[in-house]
Structure 1
Amino acid sequence: MIIVGCDYHPGFQQIAFVDTDTGELQERRLQHREEAEKFYRDLATQGMKVRVGMEASRHARWFERLLGELHDFPRIWVPSWENRDLRQLLWHRHRMVQARTRIMNQLQAVALNEGLRCKKRLWREQGREQLESFRLAPWASRRRQDLLELLDRLNPTIEELSQAIEQEAEKFPEARWLMTHPGVGPLTALAFVLIIGRADRFQCDKQIASYLGLVPLEDSSGDRRRLGHITKQGSSMLRFLMVEATQVTVRIIPEWRSKYFHLMMRRGRKIAKVAMARRLAIRLYWMWRKGWDYEQVKKFGSHAGQLGTGDGVK
């Protein structure tokens, strides 16, 4: 067997490889993509058994595809190319919404400078007419005009992306189960399914919470146990969506609302939101794993259904 250790860079990879039969050790620097691809294909042609180890990298998709073609990648779960492409849809909409929010905040600032404070009413027909009616200095007027034009272009784009997400979510039975839960729409359900990948990857709900970065950092030594802020590992987008969905859920389910206000009074609003987002993530995990919709969760219960028990913030 040949064992290859790969230090991957965008333009090249530095490798060290050893033949376990002869003990021969070599080092090489392979340029991307032609030289590296030829090296690995030659090993496959010679019929050698090869094991490749490399660090996690965001810029090695072509290398993953090559190892996949050579039937040497990997034993851990890796998202399919279709999965990754759908994630691009989610990220694209997420970034477009963020851009729209920044534009709307700037327009709110323009309105406030002119003494108009109407918050969400600014985006209604009457509010927009008021905003456009202000007599501003030349460059301030230009800024207002450009921002309104950008906003008008972003709204149809976001609507189109939202419809595409709804259509894609309907193709996944798991997403349809999750959408039956109050507060969970197509965007959150599809993101949860795509980013988690397979429910059987995780043995318990604590692993789900840890994977999403919704557990506290621990700095313990001896008998002293110290917990800090959440780790924020995993997908920042899914973590954001879970917090957003939770704020809808606590308004719909009385038990969750009661628990949320209890936590908020004791630990503050931010900690309460994160704690409830963790509970929602755990419930969605069990719904997926058991193949239940929300009605079955209410009927049979779930691990996340007992809000007064379990680990986490109390």
Structure 2
Amino acid sequence: MILVGCDLHTRKQQVALLNTDTGELWDQQLTHAGDDVERFYAALAPPVTVGIESTGYSLWFHALLQRLGHTLLVGEAAKIRAMVVRKTKTDRRDAQHLRELLKDDRFPLVWIPDPTTRDLRALIKHRLRLVRIRTMVKNGLHAIALNQRLALGPSLWSRQGLAQLQALVLLPHTRRRRDDSLDLLQWLNRHIAELDLHVATAAAADPDARRLMTHPGVGPLTALATVLVLGPVGRFPGSKHVVSYIGLAPTVNASADKCRLGHISKQGSALLRWVLGQAAPLATRGDADLKRVYFAVLRRRDRPKAKVALARRLLVRLYVMRRDQIDYDEFCRRGRARRGGLELARTPV
């Protein structure tokens, strides 16, 4: 068996190899220009296990090793770096360190989604970027309208509001900015609507997403994003790990008898945090428990913290629904049964 520690970069990679049958060690640097990488890995006799750190722009490398039949392991970069004692850092040392972790069976694995999941993630990310661009365009048009004393708020996007915006008498460059922005806004609305149809189709085809959509305020986008980002929920020991994985857990600074909770860590999927932040206020309209939690936090804190607390509570609910394979009605029934049991236990005999 051949173990390969690979320090992967954009234009080159440093590899450190070990033949476990003969004990032979060797190092080599490969450039990504040409077919050097393909010829090198094709010449290795199977079985071959390659270990790399989690990094971006590496999908081509994943596809190459899958095509050659080699095993690719991806490790958590922060944990790999924390295992290094020496402060001297070079590509060769990094590759050798990865090789040693593979040899000693200490390689800190991370979950890697399959190509279909990555492609669906690209769909949601693409929609998110177009929505953000649309927000920028709308803000620019609002600024033009306000500078002309046209303060309509959201009504600016109605048919009458757009007619008033187009009727404004503006200087040449400002007029061109308005006209181009309106054309761009129309293009964005059309393409976002098309992406919404694709998201709805993908969510309807996934049984987990359909189950999550039974929760109030959770539509195809939120359900599909939750399924795609979390992946197999069996890899999480509990809900606290899910909250930490998404980056909604507070940072902790504890020493001796002092413990201070800070802002949320944001070490996780920014996509899912944004989606949950959009869905959580909608969920309060159909769920009395979430509404009570929101206003309880709002009285003690401010609106942003209440929104984050609501998103965290919604994430835990969706995780439980996926873990137990239940819909919203069953989730509520279990909650009522649990509360009834607690009240019965507190009743004095």
TM-score (norm 2): 0.82
1:50 corresponds in structure 2 to 48
1:11 and 2:11 aligned = yes
Q: Pick from 150, 158, 179 the counterpart of residue 124 of structure 1.
A: 158
Q: 1:62 to 1:253 in 2, by over 3 A?
A: same
1:298 and 2:311 aligned = no
Note the C-alpha offset of 1:81: 0.8
CA contact (8 A) 1:283 1:305 kept: no
1:194 and 2:193 aligned = no
AA partner of residue 228 (structure 2): L
1:277 corresponds in structure 2 to 311
2:84 corresponds in structure 1 to none
CA contact (8 A) 2:50 2:70 kept: no
CA distance in 2 between partners of 1:291 and 1:197 (Å): 14
Output aligned runs, 1:201-220, within 5 Å.
201-220=235-254
Identity of aligned residues (%): 45
1:141 corresponds in structure 2 to 175
1:67 corresponds in structure 2 to 65
AA partner of residue 245 (structure 1): A
CA contact (8 A) 2:134 2:188 kept: yes
SS at match of 2:180: helix
2:276 corresponds in structure 1 to 242
Deviations 1:108-146 (A, max 9, x none): 111110111111100001111111111111111111111
Unaligned runs of 5+ in 1: 307-314
CA contact (8 A) 2:49 2:70 kept: no
Note the C-alpha offset of 1:167: 0.8
1:311 corresponds in structure 2 to none
AA partner of residue 62 (structure 1): W
CA distance in 1 between partners of 2:62 and 2:174 (Å): 50
TM-score (norm 1): 0.91
CA contact (8 A) 2:212 2:218 kept: yes
Note the C-alpha offset of 1:218: 1.9
Output aligned runs, 1:81-160, within 5 Å.
81-160=115-194
AA partner of residue 62 (structure 2): E
2:85 corresponds in structure 1 to none
Note the C-alpha offset of 1:15: 1.3
Q: 1:78 to 1:29 in 2, by over 3 A?
A: same
CA contact (8 A) 1:169 1:175 kept: yes
CA contact (8 A) 2:48 2:70 kept: no
Q: What is the total number of aligned residue pairs between the two structures?
A: 303
1:28 corresponds in structure 2 to 28
Unaligned runs of 5+ in 2: 74-108, 341-349
